[in-house]
Amino acid sequence: MTRFLLTEDKVITFIEHLQKQKNVFAPHKRGTNSFAFEQVSDPASVMLDYTRTLHSVKKYFMPPREQLLSFSLTDNSFAEPTVDPVDAIFLGVHSYDLQAVFKLDHNFSEGNPEKNYLKRREGALFVGVTFAPDQWHFSGSVGINPNDADGFDVFLFAVENGYAVEAFTPAGESLLSGFEMSEFNSDIPAAADFNQHIYVPQGKLSEVFDNAWDNEVWEETSKECVGCGTCNMVCPTCYCFNVEDGVDVTATVGQRERHWDACMTRDFSEVAGGEVFREELAARQRHRVYRKFKYISDKTGQPWCVGCGRCTASCSAKISIVNIVNKLVQDHEQATVAPV
Amino acid sequence: MANKPRVAIFDFTGCEGCELNKLNFENELLDILAHVDIVEWREAMDDRVDEYDIAFVEGSLSTPDCIERIHEVRRKCKVLVSLGSCATLGGINAMKNIQPIEEVREEGYGEDKYLFPTLPALPLSAVVKVDYEVRGCPMTQIEFLKLFTALVRGQEPVKPDYAVCVECKLKENECVYEKGMICLGPVTVAGCDAHCPSFGQYCTGCRGLVTDANIAGMEEILVKHGLSVDEARKRLQLYNVNQLEGVQR
Amino acid sequence: MKDLYFPVMAEITGVKQLSPMEKLFEITLPGGVDLEHDPGQFVELSLFGVGEAPFSVSSSPTRKGTFELGIRNVGMLTDVLHRMEAGEKVGIRGPFGSGFNVDDFKGKDVMIVAGGIGLVPVRSLINYVLDNRDDFGRLIILYGSKTDKDLLFTDELQQWTDDPKVEYHVTVDSGSDDWTGNTGVITTMIPGLDLDLENTKCVIVGPPIMYRFVLLSLNSKGMPEENIYMSLERRMKCGVGKCGHCQINSSYVCQDGPVYHYPDLADLQEAL
């Protein structure tokens, strides 16, 4: 496929070109040190060089809060909300975040396919961009590299003074058509190395987790963890939710709303009557990590973690999932080495 | 409901900010009033009555007179709701509970201290049965509205038991720690829709602690972010001294 | 694509007090259509403005036209529900989950160990067996309750007592003065049973604490593990395998359960 050179000074006109075709969502600065995907109104405020966004693009397909239905208490009837495809261009997506979308696609299509998610997902186009691993990224350990264009419609490979642009799908080609760029014929420079790694591949991890249930790491970690649920809330592959009814103060109408939920919180597994099935923080931490590397992974053959590093970067105690997994790997290897 | 619930509103030891917060329901106030008859409210009317369905009570109990009055309120009402941190947790008033009471009295009233008997500041629940709580300092408006709507419909309100962080992340706020501040959101009960962090402020813990909060872990986080062990403890005590120091709730 | 979260509006067509804490609700779907559930499956019942919660179906699919839910008043939703009357509407989704595979039980002796409110879901199976009595061998029912005042479905308990083809045993933890039956925990009734172990399918349903003790007791009795089934309680919020609340290790109770074949629980450390 042909690659084109998008020089730094042409990025804004390139975004304007995309805006003529569909709504564009891209990373923007949020707060002091953070980034977030927002709809582009001013192309100059788009940040293509960013570490990671607070939330992944998951928030567009599974909104943090979402109305499942609205109801009337006067006649006990309900109405469906309208769910429209997001049908937009997602610009500046990192490879791990697109892989996370594909994992959610799996979760919402298998078994009982969910209309809300799948409907919103229609028409989304992804324009990727190279990322520079910071101290928390470890996606290389789960097979996702900064220049992985897998699944993208268009990818912007970081090169000197700009980006080498390549379309990978017909939809991607049409995004580029009509935008003047010269061809780029050099090699793409190798992406920067990761600063942290999980030592073993998923194939081996399944075995590690077979022997990790009683590892002391769960208890140790639970001393630092306060169970705030942040790691769940920022995870691009977490999709658990709770559903609650809200009633207007007139007590005549209301809505049934779902919102993201966190298995790290105590009341997540609480049933009516007060029994809590994962009462200990250690058990909750274990459940979270098993969900990322064992439970779904055994069924799909893939890790359900994309190595974005959000859970650690956002944790006020800086509990590292990489350190947890590596400790399990280490203990597993020591236990399985034949005695001399 | 055929007869509107009769509501009475009382204040004990506190700043009365929770009561004013009720008057701040600009859009909802008329809807609220349509559902109930307010029969007693010192802040806004002169009437006194002998019986009411719902009593909303603000403030902590910190004098012998408070104790007497709260028993009377409990006798006269069917449902007792505590409003705000003082009534629910003891509030900032309860900071005095970890100091010698005579020193506190002297500091507060000087020479006239003998005219002002004082007790440790207690939440209502330490003295009478409390049916429902609206937390926060001042009390969280959205929680009050939810509880109010539930009560007029004859229902139990939902009580969240997860951290403010969950609600904060639902709004995709930048973490307060990321701004270089410290925050008690990780151990504080949600329900305020992360009000303070959403306006760039840190969480002071005014809504109380989640069940089985990992206090040692929270202190370690605060210390990791630059507080001394003593400062960390004090931050946590601001609203939760009764719970942390084992004063009866 | 079918919407997973929209309920069908059904009518409460009967309410019966079962005990001080429990009521039995008879529910009729629009047009009187059958729920078409398996014994052991559950539905999500919703009340707009209050919420939605899972309840095991208590009636047998052999009883047509309506179905029954036996509901203890323990929370926000059940509190409102307990104040509702015949003629009022509730939302129903389901049936969900995996129930008892009754075909596996055919030709076998069926033994039921039910503790407390555990009798509610398992009553669906009991009545299924009673309605197809010739397809099954012995029907042995062990029922344990906190007190004799908490015993549920007392009319049916009397019928089982009187039915020569039902071996019904009951015990209470503490009986009132006029209680003349067994006193003691449910496991005390197991050692004395004369069972054809290889040919008996055993079903356990009760509070979490009960499972461990009943399993120990069955084990010392020599009951093969592959003959044991149980129904587990978790927080099945969505009912369709998405929300994550009911997850036990890699298993979603709302999909793989609530009824589990005991050998399948061996890999689920969080189950019991």
CATH of the domain at C177: 3.40.50.80
In a shared domain, residues C112 and C139: yes
Is C80 near chain B, with CB under 8 Å? yes
C24 belongs to a structural domain: yes
In a shared domain, residues A227 and A305: yes
C261 belongs to a structural domain: no
A268/A283 Cα distance (integer angstroms): 12
- Once rounded to an integer, what is the mean pLDDT over residues C187-216? 94
In a shared domain, residues C216 and C196: yes
The answer to whether residues A27 and A188 touch, using CB atoms and an 8 Å cutoff, is no
Q: What residues of B are in contact with residue C49 (Cβ under 8 Å)?
A: 153, 155
- Once rounded to an integer, what is the mean pLDDT over residues C253-263? 96
Whether residues A299 and C269 touch (CB distance < 8 A) is answered with no
Q: Which pLDDT score is estimated for B157?
A: 86
Interface test with A, best of B171, B178, B193 (most A CBs within 10 A): B178
Rounded to a whole number of angstroms, the distance from the CA of A319 to the nearest CA of chain C is 22
A284 belongs to a structural domain: yes
A260 belongs to a structural domain: yes
Q: What residues of C are in contact with residue B153 (Cβ under 8 Å)?
A: 49
Residue C209 pLDDT exceeds 90: no
Is C30 near chain A, with CB under 8 Å? no
CA distances from A257 to A105, A114, B110 (A): 21, 15, 55
Residue-range definition of the domain harbouring residue A151: 3-183
A311/C169 Cα distance (integer angstroms): 53
Q: What residues of A are in contact with residue C120 (Cβ under 8 Å)?
A: none
Q: Which pLDDT score is estimated for A201?
A: 82
In a shared domain, residues A328 and A270: yes
Q: What residues of B are in contact with residue A36 (Cβ under 8 Å)?
A: 172
Mean of per-residue pLDDT scores for chain A = 95
Percent of chain A's residues with pLDDT above 70: 99
Whether residues B172 and A59 touch (CB distance < 8 A) is answered with yes
In a shared domain, residues A156 and A262: no
Q: What residues of A are in contact with residue C52 (Cβ under 8 Å)?
A: 243, 245, 256
In a shared domain, residues C65 and C88: yes
Q: Which pLDDT score is estimated for B98?
A: 86
Domain count, chain C: 2
In a shared domain, residues A284 and A209: yes
Q: Considering CB atoms only, which of A30, A234, A246 is closest to B169?
A: A234
- Once rounded to an integer, what is the mean pLDDT over residues B33-38? 86
In a shared domain, residues C55 and C112: no
The CA R_g of chain C, rounded to the nearest whole Å, is 18
In sign, the C-alpha dihedral spanning A88, A94, A95, A97 is negative
Q: Considering CB atoms only, which of A225, A260, A266 is closest to B161?
A: A266
C271 belongs to a structural domain: no
- Once rounded to an integer, what is the mean pLDDT over residues A202-223? 94
In a shared domain, residues A78 and A217: no
Q: Name the residue with tokens 């979308």.
A: A101
- SS3 for chain A, per residue? CCEEEEEHHHHHHHHHHHHCCCEEEEEEEECCCEEEEEECCCHHHCCCCCCCCCCCCHHHHCCCEEEEEEEECCCCEEECCCCCCCCEEEEEECHHHHHHHHHHHHHHHCCCCCHHHHHHHCCCEEEEECCCCCCCCCHHHHCCCCCCCCCCCEEEEEECCEEEEEECCHHHHHHHCCCCCEECCCCCCCCCCCCCCCCCCHHHHHHHHHCCCCCCHHHHHHHHCCCCCHHHHHCCCCCCEEEEEEECCCCCEEEEEEEECCCCCHHHHECCCCCECCCCHHHHHHHHHHHHHHHHHHHHCCCCCCCCCHHHHCCCCCCCHHHHHHHHHHHHHHHHCCCC
Angle between the A281-290 and A321-336 helix axes, to the nearest 10 degrees?
A: 80
The chain B residue lying nearest C80, using CA atoms, is B155
Within 10 A of A120 (CB to CB), how many other CB atoms are there? 20
A328 belongs to a structural domain: yes
In a shared domain, residues A179 and A215: no
C222 belongs to a structural domain: yes
| Residues facing residue C168 across a β-bridge | C141
Which segment of A191-200, A266-275, B16-25, C238-247 scores lowest on mean pLDDT? Answer: B16-25
In a shared domain, residues C34 and C155: no
Q: What residues of A are in contact with residue B223 (Cβ under 8 Å)?
A: none
Q: What residues of A are in contact with residue C82 (Cβ under 8 Å)?
A: none
Give the contacts of C226 (CB within 8 A, at least 6 positions apart).
C261, C262, C263
Q: Which phi and psi (to 5°) does residue B10 adopt?
A: -130, 155
Domain count, chain A: 2
Whether residues C250 and A268 touch (CB distance < 8 A) is answered with no
Rounded to a whole number of angstroms, the distance from the CA of A339 to the nearest CA of chain B is 38
Which strand (E) or helix (H) includes residue C146? none
The answer to whether residues B92 and B86 touch, using CB atoms and an 8 Å cutoff, is yes
Q: Considering CB atoms only, which of B149, B217, B224 is closest to A247?
A: B149
Q: Which pLDDT score is estimated for A239?
A: 98
Domain end among C96, C122, C154: C96
In a shared domain, residues A72 and A207: no
Residue-range definition of the domain harbouring residue C167: 102-231
Q: Which pLDDT score is estimated for A251?
A: 86
Residue C135 has which token pair?
A: 């397809």
- Once rounded to an integer, what is the mean pLDDT over residues C73-92? 95
Residue B1 pLDDT exceeds 80: no
In a shared domain, residues C90 and C120: no
Residue B149 has which token pair?
A: 């709507």
A156/B122 Cα distance (integer angstroms): 62
In a shared domain, residues C12 and C50: yes
Whether residues A229 and B166 touch (CB distance < 8 A) is answered with yes
In a shared domain, residues A113 and A157: yes
Residue B2 pLDDT exceeds 60: no
Is B161 near chain A, with CB under 8 Å? yes
A193 belongs to a structural domain: no
Q: pLDDT tier at A339 (50, 70, 90 boundaries)?
A: low
- Once rounded to an integer, what is the mean pLDDT over residues C212-229? 96
Interface test with C, best of B151, B155, B162 (most C CBs within 10 A): B155
The chain C residue lying nearest A74, using CA atoms, is C48
Q: Considering CB atoms only, which of B35, B187, B214 is closest to A251?
A: B35
Whether residues B172 and A246 touch (CB distance < 8 A) is answered with no
Residue A340 pLDDT exceeds 60: no
Is C50 near chain B, with CB under 8 Å? yes
Q: pLDDT tier at B211 (50, 70, 90 boundaries)?
A: very high
Whether residues C75 and B156 touch (CB distance < 8 A) is answered with yes
Whether residues C245 and A240 touch (CB distance < 8 A) is answered with yes
Q: Which pLDDT score is estimated for B247?
A: 64
The answer to whether residues A68 and A36 touch, using CB atoms and an 8 Å cutoff, is no
CA atoms lying within 13 Å on the CB side of residue C55:
30
Q: Considering CB atoms only, which of A76, A245, A273 is closest to C74?
A: A273
> What residues 189-208 of chain C have any CB closer than 8 A to a CB of chain A?
208
In a shared domain, residues C26 and C78: yes
In a shared domain, residues C118 and C199: yes
Whether residues A317 and B214 touch (CB distance < 8 A) is answered with no
CA distances from B239 to A185, A227, A232, C180 (A): 64, 20, 27, 55
CATH label of the domain that carries residue C22: 2.40.30.10
- CB-based burial label for A19 (10 Å; 0-12, 13-18, 19+): middle
Q: Which pLDDT score is estimated for B45?
A: 75
Write the pLDDT tens digit of every residue in C102-150. 999 999 999 999 999 999 999 999 999 999 999 999 999 999 999 999 9
The chain C residue lying nearest A72, using CA atoms, is C48
Q: What residues of A are in contact with residue C77 (Cβ under 8 Å)?
A: 272
Angle between the A202-210 and A321-336 helix axes, to the nearest 10 degrees?
A: 70
A115 belongs to a structural domain: yes
- Once rounded to an integer, what is the mean pLDDT over residues C23-39? 97
Write the pLDDT tens digit of every residue in C140-183. 999 999 999 999 999 999 999 999 999 999 999 999 999 999 99
Interface test with B, best of A38, A223, A261, A316 (most B CBs within 10 A): A316
In a shared domain, residues C184 and C116: yes
In a shared domain, residues A128 and A252: no
**Secondary structure of residue C96 in the 3-state scheme:** strand
Mean of per-residue pLDDT scores for chain B = 90
The chain B residue lying nearest C47, using CA atoms, is B155
Whether residues C243 and A71 touch (CB distance < 8 A) is answered with no
Is C8 near chain B, with CB under 8 Å? no
Rounded to a whole number of angstroms, the distance from the CA of B183 to the nearest CA of chain A is 9
Is C76 near chain B, with CB under 8 Å? yes
Domain end among A122, A150, A183: A183
Rounded to a whole number of angstroms, the distance from the CA of B163 to the nearest CA of chain A is 5
CA distances from A183 to A1, A169, B72, C88 (A): 11, 18, 85, 70
Whether residues A247 and C233 touch (CB distance < 8 A) is answered with no
Whether residues A239 and C48 touch (CB distance < 8 A) is answered with no
In a shared domain, residues A248 and A305: yes
- Once rounded to an integer, what is the mean pLDDT over residues B157-172? 95
Q: Considering CB atoms only, which of A32, A249, A268 is closest to B179?
A: A32
Closest by CA to C21, choosing from C107, C117, C97, is: C117
Q: What residues of C are in contact with residue B158 (Cβ under 8 Å)?
A: 51, 76
Q: Which pLDDT score is estimated for C2?
A: 81
In a shared domain, residues A176 and A322: no
Rounded to a whole number of angstroms, the distance from the CA of C50 to the nearest CA of chain A is 6
For chain B, domains (ranges, CATH) are 6-152 (3.40.50.700), 164-244 (no CATH)
The chain A residue lying nearest B1, using CA atoms, is A251
B76/B49 Cα distance (integer angstroms): 9
Whether residues C240 and A111 touch (CB distance < 8 A) is answered with yes
| Residues facing residue C203 across a β-bridge | C112, C229
In a shared domain, residues C178 and C209: yes
C204 belongs to a structural domain: yes
In a shared domain, residues C84 and C149: no
B174/B154 Cα distance (integer angstroms): 39
In a shared domain, residues A51 and A158: yes
Q: Considering CB atoms only, which of A230, A247, A251 is closest to B169?
A: A230
> What residues 301-340 of chain A have any CB closer than 8 A to a CB of chain B?
314, 316-318
Q: pLDDT tier at C225 (50, 70, 90 boundaries)?
A: very high
Rounded to a whole number of angstroms, the distance from the CA of C267 to the nearest CA of chain A is 10
Is B159 near chain A, with CB under 8 Å? no
Which segment of A146-155, A210-219, B154-163, C87-96 scores lowest on mean pLDDT? Answer: B154-163
Rounded to a whole number of angstroms, the distance from the CA of A304 to the nearest CA of chain C is 13
Mean of per-residue pLDDT scores for chain C = 95
